[in-house]
Amino acid sequence: MARESRVRGPMTPSKADAWSSPILHADLDAFYASVETLSDPSLKGKPVIVGGTSSRGVVTSASYEARKFGVRSAMPTSRARRLCPGGIFIQPNFAAYTEKSRAVKEVFTSMSPLVEPLSLDEAFIDVSGSHRMWADPPTMAEALRWRVADQTGLVVSVGVAPNKFLAKLASRRAKPDGVVVVRPGGIEDFLSPLPVDELWGVGEQTSAVLRKLGLTTIGEIAAVPRSTLERVLGATGTHLANLARGKDERQVVPEATRRSVGAEETFQEDLVGETEICQALLKLADRVSSRLRGDGISGQTVTVKVRFSNFATITRSRTLRYEIDNCTGFYGVARQLLAGALSNEPGRSRIRLLGISASSIKQWPAAEQLTFDRQPRWIEADRALDKVRARFGDDALGFGSLMGDE
């Protein structure tokens, strides 16, 4: 499949551009919508919107034709219909998306064994050991795009950089259908003009604090002494000072060496009431348990992560006598852990982020014993839930307590 090269960024390396730990962030363009178009070529060039089609549905993917109308992922379907009345709305087919995702992953692993999937449509790839096969990382990124298009029919945008943080920022600017390169010698030039909310961890509250300090770009943050940021923002100041200078020490963790499965969410507005906190926790438990069952594994250790509005972060864990893979089990343990954590943190009742993870991973079937929460009828209910979601999408069926008011 012939493709036009669309590398954005300087292609001629300088002496300061020696790559020591090049990382690619590959992100498939409008993945779900693209898979639907491959399945039905008559959809090509049309505003395709994938997601829950009910009044409570949420958009999971939109073609670029639909995005011209302002349709975006995570937008309520009802609003998407108002913005794009001529849109073609399709229920998600996760079985098809999973199959395509596996095909794409095969392309990734054919170029490097160090692949860390983030979701069905994106992954980090460490290519530091591939220098003998390719002229340089940007050349490898272009080859990756061509192979994905040729073998799967999908389009992937790629960011190339010395670390994960920069690679993901670059891939965002590579869309659609391109490559953006952040060379080791060009980090400051790339980051300086970007707005502060491009930094991971900067939400509305932190952004407001930074604006009060007169800081609106990443370059301005980098120019401020680290001690000043730490005095104003505490540990968050240290975190932002490192990112603003392009520092990120996280390594690419291949899926084969993963030891946990987790889910977390940062909320636009802090959680305060017990009901909304418990609903958020149940939603996360459902996501983790579904992923475990989908991968045919189970977990014996449950961990809860809490980040408060002041960015203080704590974790609490418990290892069970047997491994589990069900939502009710994870939710019950996680709720107990969270209650204990909050009781020891007076004055920190506003929650910015919640997360649940399962570790001590074992292959299914689990050795868990039947309890009141885990009678045979619940096992059958879990299996039925997975089957319905596999066919009709994640929004098709869920827990009644997660359903909001009409």
The residues, ordered by sequence, that sit 6+ positions from 406 with a Cβ below 8 Å of its Cβ are 55
Model-level pTM? Answer: 0.66
Structure tokens at 101: 């995702």
Any idea what DSSP says for residue 283? H
Q: What's the pLDDT score for residue 70?
A: 96
Residue with tokens 């998407």: 80
Domains belonging to the chain, first-starting first, are 31-94 (3.40.1170.60), 192-244 (1.10.150.20), 259-394 (3.30.1490.100)
Beta bridge partners of 158: 26, 179
Question: What 3-state DSSP class applies to 28?
Answer: strand
pLDDT on residue 257: 58
CA dist list (Å): 72 to 30, 36, 287: 10, 17, 22
> Of these residues, 36, 116, 122, 142, which one is catalytic?
122
Can you list the residues of the chain whose pLDDT is less than 50? 1-2, 4-5, 10-16, 365-378, 389-406
Q: Which of 215, 204, 124 is nearest to 171 (CA)?
A: 124
How far apart, in whole angstroms, are the C-alpha atoms of residue 26 and residue 28? 7
Tell me how far apart the alpha carbons of residues 406 and 403 are, in angstroms, rounded to a whole number. Answer: 9
265 annotated active-site = no
Structure tokens at 387: 């089957």
Rounded Cα distance between 51 and 73, Å, is 9
